Structure formats: structure tokens, C-alpha cells
Chains A and B, each alone.
Chain A
């Protein structure tokens, strides 16, 4: 893993346990620059666009929450949502950057208490 990829590492936070039917809060953070492509550096040169355009959260391959993102989302990229837990849950997240070549994933498990 390069230093840069280490910097951008994703975080996905959820309670370790939940009761059946309970709603839990999922918090995600990607330390990504979300560079809009409309800024200039100190020398007046354009800073190239670099945006996470898709963030997707799935359980057992089924999408539970997703975001199609414009450059108008803040850096770092923060997304929080509530999820109803029915049983033991493996939540998987994937963030995809412009061009589809770079993506980051994270997962977390919620057990039934």
C-alpha cells in the first residue's frame, strides 16, 4: 500500500451488537481530497479534478444505501445513515473515484445481542 493510499484509508463504524429490529447508526469517513478541479495551486496552475463519484453500502450483495456524489461534497467524505438490523449483518462499503481505477473498500460486522 502506498503512502497516499494509506492516507485515504476508509473508516466504517457501527455498533458491534444490536437487537433484532433495532436501528443503528453507521458512520463512514474517507480521507479523500474531493478535489473539484476548479481550484488553482499557488503557482496559478489548475489542480486536476479528483472526486469520489460513488459510495455504496451493501449487505449480502444487496444495496442498502448509496450516494452519487458531485464535487460539492466536503473533504473528507463523510456519510452517516441509520440501518435497521434484522439479523447478523456484514456491512460492506465501497468508494469509487473518477475513472473507476481507484476504489476503496471497508466492512464491519454487527452481531445480534
Chain B
């Protein structure tokens, strides 16, 4: 894995640097996400591009949360939710990504109006090592939103 995949700049540090060019150089062409987050490694960027999701932008309405420390990477609880959606709009698809995993796209979830507005799901993922997990939501009006969460993994749940 290249150095850029292991980039450890936090979003705050990235903003402090204020150098979009510098970030772009380190992270590759993944559109809006790359300019905002350092956690987007090349494998995730490729998976997002395949979905047509490179232009997703971080939005606090989308919430991704895990325990701060996952004891067992073979079974990491992941909670996702989204509320404050515009009238009639629902989350249509949601992708969950872990760059340091063998397969970066953990899952793609699909929703309908009865489950996607508001949205709340809880799933169990495998995490190979400490890393920043990313979620991207595609709304029924076409908007693309992202959220991330830095998680420490005590015992990696590779096997994948």
C-alpha cells in the first residue's frame, strides 16, 4: 500500500494547511471528498468512483459512529443515521468503506421511503486495523453526503 493510503492528516489539520493543491497531490483525484478529508485512500476513492460518488461532501446530517475503541475487529458495531431530510426526500443508497480492509467497500445498502427518511441502521463490520471508516449516502434528490469516523481496533479482524 502506498504512503498516500496511510495519510494521517485529520480534516482539521488538512484545513489548517489550507493547501488544496498539497492535499490533492497526496490523495488523488477523488473530487470534493479528497479536498475535505485525508482519510480517502486510493482503494476507497476507486470504489466511490465506481458508484459515481466522488463528489460527495461531508455533511453533519449524516451520522456514522462506532465505539472509539473496537476490541474485536472481527465484529465491530457500526451505527448509521440520517435525519433532517427535505420533505419527500429519502436516503436511497448508502455505502460503507474501510480503506485498510482487503475489500474497501464493506456493503452497499438500499432503502425505500419507509426506511430511508429518517434513516437508522446498525450493522456489524470486520475491520483489519485502526483506520477511518467512511460512509456515503445518496439521497433520492441526487445529493451525495459523507461522514467518517476514526476508530482504533485492538485486535484486527482481517480474514478478509
Interface residues of A (CB under 8 A from B): 23, 25, 36, 38-39, 59, 62-75, 77-84, 86
Q: Once the chains are docked, how many angstroms separate the CA of A88 from the CA of B105?
A: 35
Q: How far is the CA of A63 from the CA of B126 in the complex (A)?
A: 26
Give the residue of A39, A69, A79 whose beta carbon is less than 8 angstroms from that of B159.
Answer: A39
**Size bracket, chain B contacts:** 20 to 34
A68 proximity list for chain B (CB < 8 A): 107-110
Which secondary structure characterizes the binding site on chain A? strand
A84 to B83, CA, bound (A): 14
Given the known inter-chain contacts A73-B106, A74-B126, please indicate yes or no for A82 contacting B160, CB distance below 8 A.
Answer: no
Complex Cα gap A34–B125 (Å):
11
Chain A residues, Cβ within 8 Å of B110: 63, 65-68
Task: Say which one of B6-14, B113-121, B145-153 lies at the interface with A.
Answer: B113-121
Task: Tell me the smallest distance from the CB of B116 to a CB of chain A, in Å.
Answer: 8
Distance between Cα atoms of A83 and B114 in the complex (Å): 6
- Kindly list chain B residues whose C-beta atoms are within 8 Å of the C-beta of A84: 113-115
Chain A CB within 10 A, most for which of B75, B115, B118, B126: B115
CA of A6 to CA of B86, assembled, Å: 45
Q: With A63-B112, A64-B112 in contact, is A74–B107 under 8 Å at CB?
A: no
Give Cα A23 to B120, complex, Å.
10
